Amino acid sequence: MPSSRIARRHDDPGLQPERTSLSWYRTLFLIVGVSMLFLRLGFVKNDLILVAGSIILLLCNIGVCIYAYQRNLFDVKSTVLTSYGSVIVKKMICFAIIFSALVFALSIIMSSYNRIFESYLI
């Protein structure tokens, strides 16, 4: 067994670093797509919650992209998978996904509330 972690990574075909890199790209692309949809929906509905949520999602995604490019385009050659930076990035991705779901749910609740409230006034 090689002593270096990088050599072990390339000797173990089960790790498949190329597929890991592709999954990172898919995750980041998905978050950008969802935040752009939220931004468009927020502008169409004049909903400040969706606009603010989508901007926060985009900023979070930019932070993840900057970290990933500092790590040599999602390559794990230089650091350990459980380093402080990678744990922060994983938490940011989880935050972005949960935050997007909560913002969308809040937008639906507010929209439903406004429709119900307007129907009682008319």
Give the DSSP per-residue string, 70-119.
Answer: HTTTT--SSS-TTSHHHHHHHHHHHHHHHHHHHHHHHHHHHHHHHHHHHH
**CA triple 105-110-111, angle to 5 deg:** 95
pLDDT above 70: residue 30: yes
Q: Which structural domain range is residue 59 located in?
A: 5-121
Instruction: Look at the chain and report how many structural domains it folds into.
Output: 1
Low-confidence winner among 42-46, 72-76, 88-92, 113-117 (lowest mean pLDDT)? 72-76
Report pTM: 0.51
Q: Mean pLDDT across the chain, nearest whole number? A: 74
What 3-state DSSP class applies to 10? Answer: helix
Distance CA 27, CA 32 (A): 9
